[in-house]
Structure 1
Amino acid sequence: MKILPQMDRPAFRPSKLDQKLLAYLRENAGKVPHMTISQLAEACGTGEATVTRFVKKMGYGSLQQFKVALAAELTENSRNFIINRDIDAHESALVTGRKLLEANVSTLERTLAALPEGLIENCAQKLLEARRIRFIGLGNSGFTARDSAYKFYRIGLESAGLDNSHDMFMMAALAGKGDVIVAVSQSGQSPELLQTLQLAHKQGAYCMLVTADGAAGQQEFIDACIIYEAKESLLETGSIKAKLAQFFVMDLLYTQVVKKMPEQALENKRRTAEAVRMLNGEE
């Protein structure tokens, strides 16, 4: 009986202790073949007898047999699966497409479900009251920062998007009370980004972080943290689901702001659209 498929859908009714083992396996499958029974039990917070019963429920006579089978499955997976363990290198493009679509929809649903009540409203109010708004991000998150700045600028809010660390540091040095800095980061761990927020916060700016890592928002210089649900593997870096989650959060903030100023937002969009038409030589 295969082990990896059972991590999400075990062929037995798992107990609470079994669920601890399954959770550890999902996150650390590559470590288990090299662990002793006592090490595995300690890592999972269970007893050795529980580990023995668990491997038997999984269809194996001993932990050693379980570890050998798991190592073989992991080796086979490394040959057959790309991006993540849901995508098979030999499947058709349409099958892959359906899997990606389901993953993207799931990402948005989980992001929305995890948002605390009132967080978006409070952040949107800060943006409305801001003297200046600066969206910042590096790498793929820089695209989101620039796009967001453009959206808010079109409705009349003083905003700009920065994706260069030198520009970000200079902006932070000149920030002050009434400014709002919105940082976008998948990992939430970019040193340049965090240093920018720290400096801007010291100058009196209100700092928001949009990230997939909730722990990153616990820094004392981050006033508000909006967490989206989009974990990436190494080969998924810059994936559509991460971009979708970022854009979804930004669009939610933007829509909430527009709800507070519908007539002004519409008028500003009309005026900026007319300006663009003039640039193109249209009447």
Structure 2
Amino acid sequence: MSVMLTMLKYKEELSMAERVVLDYLIENKESIKDFSVEKIAEAAYTSPASVVRMCKKLGYKGFKDFKIDFILANAKVEIPENKEYVDVILGRDEHCGRSAIENNIRVLEDTLKMYDEKVTKQAAELIMAARKILIFGKGSSYLVCKDLEMKLRRINKFCIAQGESHEQLVDASFINQKDVIIFISNSGKTKEIVSAALLAKENKAKIISITKLGSSILADLSDIVLYTSSLEGEFRSGAMTSRISQMCVVDALFAHCAYTDIDRSVRTLEMTYKTFKKFKR
């Protein structure tokens, strides 16, 4: 994972002083090449020890290693801005339709910024090599599961999307290291999803999760994490931006699955198209 995503993912685990350092670095990322530990500590009104501790919590030996990675990462991507989200229904927005579209545009921009082509390709390779593919989600995330199921079945990769908790546990009981389970969960903390993920882990199945950026039990249990962006809070009128971001990541994942064996995928897509065409009036 890039240093940019690591910083955002583990921000909640940092102390207040370490968060201040992190926020300062994000705001002044263009100038970090000229900064020393002491200069950053002084500018962020904290101690050099807090700067070093932050680097170590992010997985680096010290500030020097962190600084190199940070500079290289900022040459390629920008950190998604932490914009305030207002629920278009609960916020009693008179222009709710336009606001909903604007929110979706913002979340797609953020999803693109954190998109990792290499990780998505690795996930696709696991899926295409799997003996069995299960796709688990709850609520609105289950609708995204069904979308991915249909896409994969159109390239002749049989899979099952499951949204009922008991059936998820049953299916997860009969998998092994040759199988893949894809979990789609905005929070990554849904009790039923975590229970199924723990069972999948016990059975040594490969776990791919599609979940929002940040620390979660589901992400920790996963072999591969595809991060989504969501501007929504836990209390919301409905899953809007979270679903849009999930669908976007699913489309990218499916594209890589199809490209893994592109000639075969084109043939199967043509075959299903001809089948559908027969039944059109």
For residue 84 of structure 1, what is the aligned residue in structure 2? Answer: 87
Amino acid in the other structure paired with 1:209: S
**Within-5 A mapping of 1:1-283:** 84=87, 89=92, 91=94, 93=95, 96-116=96-116, 118-216=118-216, 220-234=220-234, 236-278=236-278, 280=279
SS in structure 2 of the partner of residue 231 of structure 1: coil
**Residues 217 and 228 from structure 1, CA distance in 2 versus in 1: closer, same or farther, beyond 3 angstroms?**
farther
Report the Cα offset of residue 99 of structure 1.
Answer: 2.6
**Residues 281 and 251 from structure 1, CA distance in 2 versus in 1: closer, same or farther, beyond 3 angstroms?**
closer
Report the Cα offset of residue 219 of structure 1.
Answer: 5.5
TM-score by length of 2: 0.64
**Residues 46 and 145 from structure 1, CA distance in 2 versus in 1: closer, same or farther, beyond 3 angstroms?**
same
Report the Cα offset of residue 90 of structure 1.
Answer: 6.1
1:193-214 Cα distance to aligned partner (Å, 9 max, x none): 1111111122121001111142
**Residues 187 and 220 from structure 1, CA distance in 2 versus in 1: closer, same or farther, beyond 3 angstroms?**
closer
**Residues 88 and 172 from structure 1, CA distance in 2 versus in 1: closer, same or farther, beyond 3 angstroms?**
closer
Query: Looking at both structures, which has the greater relative contact order when contacts are Cα pairs under 8 Å and sequence separation is at least 6?
Result: 2
Amino acid in the other structure paired with 1:107: V
C-alpha contact (below 8 Å) 1:209/1:217 kept by paired residues: no
Amino acid in the other structure paired with 1:89: R
Q: Distance in 2 between matches of 1:202 and 1:220?
A: 14
C-alpha contact (below 8 Å) 1:133/1:180 kept by paired residues: yes
SS in structure 2 of the partner of residue 267 of structure 1: helix
TM-score by length of 1: 0.64
| Runs of 5+ consecutive residues of structure 1 not aligned to the other structure | 1-16, 24-44, 48-81
Amino acid in the other structure paired with 2:92: A
Report the Cα offset of residue 218 of structure 1.
Answer: 6.8
Aligned Cα RMSD in Å? 3.0
Report the Cα offset of residue 266 of structure 1.
Answer: 1.7
Q: Percent identity?
A: 22
C-alpha contact (below 8 Å) 1:188/1:213 kept by paired residues: no
Amino acid in the other structure paired with 1:190: T
Q: Distance in 2 between matches of 1:146 and 1:170?
A: 19
Report the Cα offset of residue 102 of structure 1.
Answer: 2.1
Could you list the structure 1 runs, at least 4 aligned residues long, displaced by more than 6 angstroms after superposition. Answer: none
1:119-170 Cα distance to aligned partner (Å, 9 max, x none): 1111111111111211110111111111111110111112110001111101
SS in structure 1 of the partner of residue 153 of structure 2: helix
SS in structure 1 of the partner of residue 161 of structure 2: strand
User: Which one has a bigger Cα radius of gyration?
Assistant: 1
SS in structure 2 of the partner of residue 214 of structure 1: coil
C-alpha contact (below 8 Å) 1:115/1:227 kept by paired residues: yes
* Corresponding residue pairs, total: 204
Q: Distance in 2 between matches of 1:137 and 1:147?
A: 12
| Runs of 5+ consecutive residues of structure 2 not aligned to the other structure | 1-16, 24-43, 47-84
**Residues 196 and 157 from structure 1, CA distance in 2 versus in 1: closer, same or farther, beyond 3 angstroms?**
same
Q: Distance in 2 between matches of 1:118 and 1:133?
A: 21
C-alpha contact (below 8 Å) 2:87/2:237 kept by paired residues: no
Report the Cα offset of residue 235 of structure 1.
Answer: 5.1
Q: Distance in 2 between matches of 1:103 and 1:217?
A: 27
Amino acid in the other structure paired with 2:184: V
Report the Cα offset of residue 251 of structure 1.
Answer: 0.3
